[in-house]
Amino acid sequence: MAEKLKIKGGKALQGEVSISGAKNAVLKLMAAAILPKGETVIHNVPELTDVNIMLRVIEELGVKTKYDKNAKTVAIDATDITSITAKYDLVSKMRASFIILGALVTRCKEALVALPGGCAIGERRVDFHIKGLEALGADIKIENGYVHAKAQKLVGADIYLDIPSVGATENLMLAAVLAEGSTRIQNAAQEPEIVDLANFLNAMGADVSGAGTSEIVINGVKQENLRPIEYTTIPDRIEAGTYMAAIIATKGKGIIKNILPSHLTFFNSKLIKMGANIKLIEPTIIEVSCNQKLNSVNIVTQPYPGFPTDLQSLAMAMLTTANGVSIITESLYENRFMQVPELRRMGADIHQERNHALVRGVDSLTGAHVKASDLRAGAALIVAALMADGESQIEALHHIDRGYELFETKFANLGADIVRYNDDDTSSAGINKGNINASI
C-alpha cells in the first residue's frame, strides 16, 4: 500500500534541525566521480530516492560503489568502466541522471544515455546539452529515446547558453574537463551547486575557473592528471528554506544548523519582508522566528541568485494566510503551480492565470486530504498542513522522498504532530481507515 502522512496542524514549531547534504549537488558529484580512475569518497550524502537511482545508474556502467547510510558516505571506484549505457528504466525516473552523458563521453569517448525524466513541472529540454557537446566535437544522434554521443577527441570551444541552464552547464563542465584546449561557457548557471561541482573537479586535478559567475572557463587536462579524492557536499539550501518556511509559517522559533545563509540571500530578504526574524548565530547556524501574522509580498522566480523556483511553492503556502494580497510569478517552468488546487482544498484563496498566481490571505487553512504532484509541491503541502486547523492527510510521498531526508523525523523533532502510515498500518498512525475514506 502507498504510504501517506497524517499531520495535525496549528502548532508552532520549536527546536533544532540540521540540514542534510544538497541533493542537487551530490548527484552531480557522483557523476563526476567516474572521471578519475580509483576510489573517490563523497561525504554528507543524504539518504534519498534520487541518490539510490544515481547509484544504480553508475553501477550499471561497471563502476563499484559502497553506500554507508549511517556515515552518509558514498565510495565510487571508477577504475574500470565496462558499459557506456545509462538505461531508460533509471534515467526516466530522475532527470539529474542525464548528467552522466558529459562524464561518459569525455572519459569513454562514447555514451548511450536515455532521454531524461523527473518531476512534471514543465518542459526542460536537453537542446542546450546537445548543442554544447556538438560544439566540443561530439557526434550525436537521438534514436529510440536515447542520446548516442561519440567523440574520439573533444576540443575546447566557446559555448553560449541561451538560458542559464543548470543541467547544461554541469554536463558541459564535465565533458570539457578532459577536452583538448580551453572551453568557455557563457551565460552559465551560477547556482551554489555549480560552484560545488567546480570545487570537486578542481580538487581532482581539473582546471575550472569562474564558477558562480556567468562565465566559466575549463582548461582541459589529461586523464592521468585526475586523481580520486575525498570531498564533503555542501548543505541543501532548498531543504534549509523548507524548514525555515515551516517554522515561520507556524509562528514558531527554531535553530537551523549546517546551513550556508549566503546561498539563500534573496529568499531570506523576502522572509524578512513577510515579518520573519532571522538571526545569524554562527557562520553555519541561524535562528528563525515569527510571532505575528505574515505580510503579503510579491515574488518573481529567477535563476540564481534570484528567488529560487524550488522555494516558490513554499512561499505560496506561507502567503495563503498573510495580510493582504501577494502576486507570485513563475518565470522558469510553466507547470510549477501544481500545488494550487491542493492548497485551495485547504481553504486558500488563489487565482491563477498562466504563470501568475494572486494569493489573497485568508484567516486560516483547514486540514484536508491532498496529494503531492511533485517534490516541491509536496513540501508546500506539508507546510500548509502544519499551518492548518485540524488534520490533513498527504498522499504520493514518493515525490517528497526524492529530495527530503527523514523529513517526518526532522519535523517531529521540531514538535510537529506528523506520522507516516499506510492504509494497513492504522495502529501506528492512530487513525481509522473508515475516517480516512470519509474525508475524501
Residue 436's pLDDT is 30
Residue 149's pLDDT is 97
DSSP 37-95: SSEEEEES----HHHHHHHHHHHTTT-EEEEETTTTEEEEE-S-----EE-HHHHTT-G
Residue 430's pLDDT is 38
CB neighbours (10 Å) of residue 124? 15
Query: What is the pLDDT confidence band of residue 395, given thresholds at 50, 70 and 90?
Result: very high
Residue 95's pLDDT is 83
Which residues lie across from 4 on neighbouring strands?
421
Q: Does the pLDDT of residue 125 top 80, yes or no? A: no
Region 69-86: mean pLDDT is: 97
* Interval 238-282: pLDDT, tens: 999 999 999 999 999 999 999 999 999 999 999 999 999 999 999
Query: What is the pLDDT confidence band of residue 425, given thresholds at 50, 70 and 90?
Result: low
Residue 336's pLDDT is 86
Task: Return mean pLDDT, the chain.
Answer: 93
d(CA 23, CA 135): 29
d(CA 349, CA 358): 8
Query: What is the pLDDT confidence band of residue 437, given thresholds at 50, 70 and 90?
Result: very low
Domain 3-20+235-439 CATH (choose: 3.65.10.10, 3.10.20.740, 3.40.50.1820, 3.20.20.10):
3.65.10.10
* Interval 140-175: pLDDT, tens: 999 888 999 999 999 999 999 999 999 999 999 999
Q: Does the pLDDT of residue 438 top 50, yes or no? A: no
Residue among 402, 293, 421, 397 nearest 50 (CA) = 402
DSSP 92-158: TT-GGGGGHHHHHHHHHSEEEEEPP----SS----HHHHHHHHHTT-EEEEETTEEEEE-SS-B--E
Active site (catalytic) residues? 119
Residue 433's pLDDT is 33
Query: What is the pLDDT confidence band of residue 1, given thresholds at 50, 70 and 90?
Result: low
Q: Does the pLDDT of residue 119 top 60, yes or no? A: no
Q: Does the pLDDT of residue 200 top 70, yes or no? A: yes
Terminal alpha carbon distance of the chain? 17
Query: What is the pLDDT confidence band of residue 96, given thresholds at 50, 70 and 90?
Result: confident
Residue 117's pLDDT is 52
Query: What is the pLDDT confidence band of residue 52, given thresholds at 50, 70 and 90?
Result: very high
Q: Does the pLDDT of residue 131 top 80, yes or no? A: yes
Top CATH class of 23-221 equals: alpha beta
Q: Does the pLDDT of residue 431 top 80, yes or no? A: no
Residue among 154, 201, 182, 263 nearest 31 (CA) = 201
Query: What is the pLDDT confidence band of residue 428, given thresholds at 50, 70 and 90?
Result: very low
d(CA 15, CA 138): 52
Report yes or no: 113 and 101 within 8 Å, Cβ to Cβ.
yes
Exposed/middle/buried for residue 214 (C-beta within 10 Å: 0-12, 13-18, 19+)? middle
Query: What is the pLDDT confidence band of residue 41, given thresholds at 50, 70 and 90?
Result: very high
Q: What ranges do the domains of the chain cover?
A: 3-20+235-439, 23-221
Cell numbers for 408: 517526518
Residue 94's pLDDT is 86
Q: Does the pLDDT of residue 28 top 50, yes or no? A: yes
122 phi-psi bin (left φ>0, alpha ψ -120 to 50, beta other): left
Query: What is the pLDDT confidence band of residue 288, given thresholds at 50, 70 and 90?
Result: very high
Residue 145's pLDDT is 87
Report yes or no: 244 and 311 within 8 Å, Cβ to Cβ.
no
d(CA 342, CA 324): 21
Model-level pTM?
0.93
H or E stretch covering 312: helix 312-319
Q: Going by DSSP bridges, is the β-strand pair 215-219/285-289 parallel, antiparallel, or unpaired?
A: unpaired
d(CA 316, CA 394): 17
Please give the share of the chain, as a percent, with pLDDT higher than 70: 94
Q: Is the dihedral of CA 265, 266, 269, 274 positive or negative?
A: negative
